[in-house]
Chain A
Amino acid sequence: MKLIKKILVYLFLTIAALSFIYPFIWMIMASLAPEQDIGSLILFPSELTLDNYKMMIGKIPIWRALFNSLFVSSINTGFSLVFCTMVGYALARMEFKIRNLIFFIIIFTMSLPFQITLIPNYVLMVKLRWIDTYLSLTVPFMINAFGILMFRQAFKGIPQALIDAARIDGCGELRIVFRILWPNIKPTIITVAILAFMGSWNEVLWPLIVIRNEQLMTLPQLVTLFSVGGRAEAQLGVKLAAAVFLGAPIIIAYLIFQKHFIQSMASTGLKD
């Protein structure tokens, strides 16, 4: 009886796991298959071909989009780490008048739905002449409330003695934060970095609004427009190839760093 139960549990888990993994494997295999094979369930197509990828690369500037996405996401991640650290540190370890007010505002703005700022932010980009520039994809994403709160929490847990010792050694405040304290809060840095990078990498509504020039489009945006526009010419394989191209970097990163990914992304839910 116990054995049967155990077998059932594992059977259930295996079917569940397959239902999450199999579609991705199917997608990769289908993108490598000739058009007539797509739609079948078979994992191994009659022949493997890169035609879909060649066709896609010929139609859209996908390498440029890959560069754009990597560039924009890296910039946003780098600035987010620096700025969120500064603000988080000030809120955790410095005394000043409006500290509690700022903390309250951060909490409040976090619960503000983005729909309310979407249109005016677009207008702002138009007026700043940032449409079709990297600026519109980066500057608004260089700091985020969640990262500030994460760093604030981390800096609160650091012993005062460490900060005092650094001060006696004559370190300036910024030096203390980035040279002395940063090595002590690596998990927080990893979390904020993953969240900033993923948030930026996966964002698609905002790029759709502010970027029209194909050369500046991010990867998800370009793939989206390719998929809904007529250029894929109803060729399923080409669409799937574009989707694989978009998914591959994250899938590879996830396979290597899955523990960090799960911890970081689950922390967004656990915070409040």
Chain B
Amino acid sequence: MPYFMVSPYLIHLLAFTTFPVIFSLVLTFFKWNIIGPMEWTGFGNWERIFNDRLFWKAILNTFKFLIIHIPLQIVVALLLAEVLNRKIFMRGFFRAAFFMPFVISGVVVTILWQQLLGFETGVINRILVSVGLGKVGWLIDPKVAMVSIAIMATWKNVGLYVILFLVGLQTVPKQYYEAADLEGANHWQKFIKITVPMINPTIFMVVVLSTIGGFSLFIEPYILTGGGPLNSTLSAVLYIYKQAFEYYHMGYSATLGVFFAILVMLVVIIQKKFVEQDV
């Protein structure tokens, strides 16, 4: 009976995880366009990775995205959570408002922002012009495009992290703040000396979660820029997708997938080590 109960998971595990992982490793040694026969290439795919400038650019782009996105997200989420963690009239409404973009499909959010960020007709540029500033090439300037995507992703996801921080903030004992009040500490000092250290575990959880999320960046550049301009928003997943489904390099694409997955796991493990040291 127990084996019958767990059978759905075991079947699913074998079919959609175990087999694909093994097959992925096998594929890394082959050249294959999925229609023709598989062609043995030894370590050819792996060697190719190290000479594939575009892939490294995609990795670099993904890290660039993370480096802008994660700090921005933590600061904004913490700020909003801090303010919401007081006696606030209609707190539920504000919480629900911040959370709304997170619920809605990334496709909707991306199409919406495409209109906001447009160069000639975009709403944001129109505002900038009307207050006497110049237009910004949000999506057409290679230096700016990834920043725009990072801002958009922050706007979409920050609500989740506001909720997580709110939960974290409620675990901080009130006595600490009362003691600090007696010492005459101001708001900022209390925030830096008490709040931030106390919610460190939550901060690291947010870092890990948004790292994993950020590494899977795909639909935003796919819709907004197609990876451009000048490949400045080409993310690793978008590149893997293109290798497989635009050029039909199945073996190479699988190799990129394995390589990138290992990289993701390494980064997450390193981050977790930091958490364990700190807590």
Contacts and interface: CB of A to CB of B under 8 A. Distances in A.
Given A143-B9, A223-B111, A111 B222 contact: no
Contact of A96 (B3, B34, B94, B264): B3
A102 B12 CA distance: 13
Interface stretch (B51-59, B133-141, B142-150, B254-262): B254-262
A188 B164 CA distance: 19
A89 B257 CA distance: 34
Interface string B118-139: 1001110011000000000000
Contacts of B23: 120, 123-124
B111 A240 contact: yes
A105 B9 CA distance: 11
B43 to A, nearest CB: 18
Interface string A212-223: 000000001001
A106 B12 CA distance: 11
Contact of B261 (A17, A113, A262, A265): A113
A119 B242 CA distance: 11
Interface string B93-123: 1111111111111111001111110100111
Given A120-B20, A247-B104, A262-B163, A115 B34 contact: no
Contact of A24 (B95, B112, B218): B112
Contacts of B265: 111-113
Interface in B172-195: none
Interface in B213-228: 215-216, 218-219, 222-223, 226
A67 interface: no
A177 to B, nearest CB: 9
A208 B106 CA distance: 14
A242 B107 CA distance: 10
A87 B205 contact: no
B16 interface: yes
A44 interface: no
Give the interface residue-count category, chain B.
35 or more
B199 interface: no
Contact of B237 (A115, A243, A246): A115
B50 interface: no
In the complex, which of the residues A17, A86, A208, A223 has the most CB atoms of chain B within 10 Å of its own CB atom?
A: A17
Contacts of B106: 202, 204
A157 to B, nearest CB: 18
Interface in A108-151: 109, 111-124, 126, 140, 142-143, 148
Contact of B34 (A20, A89, A126): A126
B126 A209 contact: no
B19 interface: yes
B80 interface: yes
Contacts of B97: 16-17, 20-21
B218 A198 contact: no
A262 to B, nearest CB: 5
A137 to B, nearest CB: 13
Nearest to A85: B5
Contact of A111 (B5, B95, B99, B268): B268
A112 B20 contact: no
A180 interface: no
Contacts of A266: 160, 163-164, 167
12 contacts: A20-B98, A20-B101, A99-B2, A102-B6, A109-B17, A115-B215, A120-B23, A224-B223, A236-B115, A242-B111, A246-B107, A261-B99
Interface of B: 1-3, 5-6, 8-10, 12-13, 15-17, 19-21, 23-24, 27, 34, 80, 83-84, 86, 88-89, 93-108, 111-116, 118, 121-123, 126-127, 155, 159-161, 163-164, 167, 205-206, 209, 212, 215-216, 218-219, 222-223, 226, 236-237, 240-241, 244-245, 250, 253-254, 257-258, 260-261, 264-265, 268
Given A20-B100, A105-B13, 14 more contacts: A27-B112, A90-B6, A94-B1, A99-B2, A109-B17, A117-B20, A119-B257, A120-B254, A121-B20, A142-B8, A227-B111, A239-B111, A251-B100, A254-B103
Task: List the 8 closest pairs (A to B, CB-CB), nearest first.
Answer: A120-B20, A90-B5, A116-B261, A96-B2, A247-B108, A117-B20, A83-B8, A17-B97
